[in-house]
Amino acid sequence: MSGAPGALNGLRVVELGQLLAGPFCGQLLGDMGADVIKIEPPGAGDPMRVWGQGEEKVQWEVIGRNKRSVTCNLRVPEGQALARRLILAADVMVENFKPGTLEKWGLDPSDLLREKPSLIVSRMSGYGQTGPYSDRAGFGGIGEAMGGWRYIVGEPDRPPARMGISIGDTLCATYGCMGILAALHHRERTGEGQVIDTALYEAVLQVMEGLIPEYDYNGVIRERSGSILPGIAPSNVYTCKDGPFMIGANNDAIFARLAQAMGRPELAQDPRYATHLARGRHQTELDELINAWTSTHTIDEVDRLMIEYSIPAGRVYTAKDMLEDPHFAARQAIVEVETQTHGKVKMQNAFPKFSRTPSGIFRAAPARPGVHNFEVYADILGMDPADLDRLSASGVI
């Protein structure tokens, strides 16, 4: 793995925690070339190994990629001492346990930093490491609710809905990764490590656009609005003869081109639709008018017109559509990986793209918890086979 060509080549990361936030942060770092050593509990390992949809659980093949797996029982003193040695041999430690858990296990980041001042520790939790809610358990969905996401998602006449993915966890992990990269820059200049405190609800809050100032200044509380953004029109999913199609033409010039594509150029001069504010006031009737037009055409027909008139628009993709699309193929957005458990599996490629230090999938997800025990504990900590056999027999690894 030290030969991985990514931008983070040579960086060693120890990943603690399980499920989504910590492991997704580790995935991002591994995709950029870091040597990510994942600590799993002996036995079943990370629950993500058996998560996902379909009879065969393959989600692990994505979140476990570019990692080496070691087992270590963090609930016993000898396991805690072993983890401490591994962390102190790393550049970065990532964790997403409930606040106070590391301290209970003798892995207080303050103590670790005293012993290794250059260490960077990224901590992800539901509510953060401080504040009156910090000791509460928190999953991604709770962070989405507290951060304002859930309240505005769904139809106005129905209870709050959710996305079909754990967006709160992955947002938190992405900000955790961003914090690590910034901390590495600071360390390069000063030699100092630090602790990064990332809360699920605050990660969600960061992407809520004008939600807070709109209430503070205007007294407006954003409400659920289904498939539209109120006042932004036309921008919606419309019905064609053979399925849904997305059109975004809320700019004045683009709407004029849409009106031409529809064979209704006069709409761009109609006072009800001529300006951004006017279209926002007449959003419902405008969407009905456009939907009446798209419903007489196939997706292919509308798509060709949108391309001809340079209107932002596109199909509403499923995974099947992505695998059949030539643009995904041309940019290698999806790649086929030879996995240790399921053979060849297609998955999303590493992202973003780098011109000089390309990211990638350098190592398939470890098939079993602890498959790299000897490789890691012997090479990094200098432990011999007898030590490892004893630790295995006693349930420490």
Domains assigned to the chain? 12-207+330-393 (3.40.50.10540), 235-320 (3.30.1540.10)
Give the integer Cα–Cα distance in Å for 333 and 199: 30
Give the integer Cα–Cα distance in Å for 38 and 196: 19
- pLDDT (tens place) for every residue of the chain, 397 residues total: 445 789 999 999 999 989 999 999 999 999 999 999 999 999 989 999 999 999 999 999 999 999 999 999 999 999 999 999 999 999 999 999 999 999 999 999 999 999 999 999 999 999 999 999 999 998 899 999 999 999 999 999 999 999 999 999 999 999 999 999 999 999 999 999 999 999 999 999 999 999 999 999 999 999 999 999 999 999 999 999 999 999 999 999 999 999 999 999 999 999 999 999 999 999 999 999 999 999 999 999 999 999 999 999 999 999 999 999 999 999 999 999 999 999 999 999 999 999 999 999 999 999 999 999 999 999 999 999 999 999 999 999 9
Contact 94, 17 (CB under 8 A): yes
Give the integer Cα–Cα distance in Å for 313 and 258: 10
Give the integer Cα–Cα distance in Å for 240 and 235: 15
Give the integer Cα–Cα distance in Å for 23 and 380: 21
Residue with tokens 């001069």: 269
Give the integer Cα–Cα distance in Å for 91 and 147: 31
* Token reading at 166: 């754990």
* Residue 37 phi, psi (nearest 5): -105, 110
**pLDDT value for 5:** 86
Give the integer Cα–Cα distance in Å for 178 and 185: 11
Q: Which among 91, 169, 197, 287 is annotated as catalytic?
A: 169
Give the integer Cα–Cα distance in Å for 367 and 68: 10
Active site residue 379: no
Among 190, 184, 272, residue whose Cα is nearest residue 234? 272
pTM score of the predicted model: 0.94
Beta-bridged to residue 94, according to DSSP, are 15, 122
